[in-house]
Structure 1
Amino acid sequence: MSQAPKRNPRPNAGRPRTGARVAAVQALFQSEAGGESAETVIDQFVRHRIGTLNSDAGFEDGRVPQADVPLFSKIVRGAAKDSEAIDAAISGHLSANWSMERLDPVLRALLRAAAAELWGGTDTPARVVINEYMDIAHGFFDGEEPRFANGVLDALARQMRGDEFQQRP
C-alpha cells in the first residue's frame, strides 16, 4: 500500500446501488475520522451529499448524486452494529504483520462496507458485492490496494457465504 489514494471514485451514472456503496465507504471513513455515530453520518449524507440538492457539485466535491438511500443506510448501520465481528473477520484474513490500524483508512472503510454487505444478507450475490467494491477500490486507489482488497474480500465472501462458492453439479 505505497501509493497515495485517488479518493475520487466515479460510479457510472444510473447505478444507484453502486452510488450507495461509494457513499457508504465515504460515510464509514467520515464516521471513523470524526468519531461520529453511524446515524449522524447517515443523516448528514442524506441531507447534504446524496442527490442533486440544488447544486452542481459532483463526485469531485464528495457528493454522490445518485445513491440508493435504503441500501446506503443498511450498509452503514450494519457496519456499525456488527463492527467488532466484522473487524475480527477482516483481521482474520490479513497477514500476520498487518493489523486493521495499519490499513489505509479508506481501504479499511471499503473492507468494512463490503463485509457488512456480505454479512447482512444474501440480497446481492457475493460475487456481485466483490465486483462492485473492486470497481470502487479502483476509483479510490492507483496502487496495489485493489488487488489486496480483492484477496481479502474473496476470502471474506467464502467465509461468510461459502455455499455460494460450492461447485454446482
Structure 2
Amino acid sequence: MLKDSKPRISARHSSRLKGVQALYQHELTSDDMNSIVEQVVSAIQEKAAIENFKGLVPDLEFFKEIVLGTHKNREAVDEEITANLSQGWRLERLPLVVLCILRQAVYELRYQPLVPGPVIINEYIEITKDFFDEAETSFVNGILDAISKKSR
C-alpha cells in the first residue's frame, strides 16, 4: 500500500507509478503483460469517463511504452541491476516492489535517451519514497546512480 504522499505533479510521474504497479501485478500473478496493460488503461479511461475525473490522468502511451519495454528487455535490465548489486546479493533477495522500481527505472535509463538521467532517477526515488523508508530509497538511489554513470 502506498504511504501518504503529496499530489503528483505530472502525467508521466503518474504513468511511472502505474507502470511499477503493473510490473508488480505481473510478478504476483504471471498474467499476460499485454492483458495487464489493457486492464490498467481501461480502468483509467473508465474512471475518467464515469467520474468526470478531475485528477491527473497518466500519459497512457508513455505508460504502455515503459511497461511493455521493461517487460520485453527484462533479461538485459536484470543483468544491469545484478552487475551493480553488492557481492553476494541476488535479485531474488530484493523486495519485489524495489525490484519492479529498479527494472522500470533501468529500462528508462537505457532505452529512453531523450529523458535526462537525473530526471529519471529523481522520479523513481520519489516512487520509492511512496512505498519505503530511507534505507530502501538510498539503496535504489545508489543502484540507479551507478547505472546512470555507466550508461549515459
TM-score, normalised via structure 2 length = 0.89
Between the aligned partners of 2:114 and 2:83, the Cα distance in structure 1 is 25
Bigger proportion of residues as helix: 2
**What residue is the counterpart of 2:63 in the other structure?**
72
The one-letter amino acid paired with 2:146 is A
Tell me the secondary structure at the aligned position of residue 48 of structure 2: coil
Offset at 1:13?
Answer: 4.0
In structure 1, distance between residues paired with 2:103 and 2:4:
17
Distance 1:11 1:28, change over 3 A: farther
Number of residue pairs matched? 150
Q: Is 1:121 equivalent to 2:117 in the alignment?
A: no
CA RMSD of aligned residues (A): 2.2
Match of 2:135 among 131, 144, 147: 144
Whether 2:127 is the aligned partner of 1:131: answer no
In terms of mean alpha carbon deviation, does 111-120 or 41-50 score higher?
A: 41-50
Q: Percent identity?
A: 33
Rate the CA distance shift 1:9–1:158 in 2: closer, same or farther, 3 A: farther
How far did 1:118 drift?
1.1
Structure 2: distance between partners of 1:36 and 1:119: 25
Give yes or no for contact 2:44–2:57 (8 Å, CA) kept in 1.
Answer: no
76, 79, 92: which one aligns with 1:101: 92
Aligned to 2:147: 156
Distance 1:140 1:105, change over 3 A: same
Name the counterpart of 2:38.
43
Q: Does the 8 Å contact 1:28/1:76 carry over to 2?
A: yes
- CA, structure 1 residues 128+14, in 2 after alignment: closer, same or farther (shift >3 Å)? closer
Once the two structures are superposed, residues 69-91 of structure 1 have per-residue CA deviations (whole angstroms, 9 ceiling, x without a partner) of 11111111111111100000001
Relative distance call for 1:10 and 1:123 in structure 2 (3 A) is farther
Q: Which has the higher contact order (CA 8 A, sep 6+)?
A: 1
Mapped partners of 2:49, 2:147: distance in 1: 36
Q: Residue type of the partner of 1:43?
A: E
TM-score (norm: length of structure 1) = 0.80
Q: Is the 8 A contact 2:11 2:59 kept in 1?
A: yes
Name 1:110's counterpart in structure 2.
Answer: 101
- The answer as to whether partners of 1:49 and 1:65 remain within 8 angstroms in 2 is no
- Rounded Cα–Cα distance in structure 1 between residues aligned with 2:33 and 2:114: 22
Segments ≥4 residues shifted beyond 2 Å:
6-14, 49-57
**Distance change in 2, residues 1:7/1:101 (3 Å):** farther
Any conservation in 2 of the 1:75–1:116 contact (CA below 8 Å)? Answer: yes
Q: Secondary structure at the match of 1:144?
A: helix
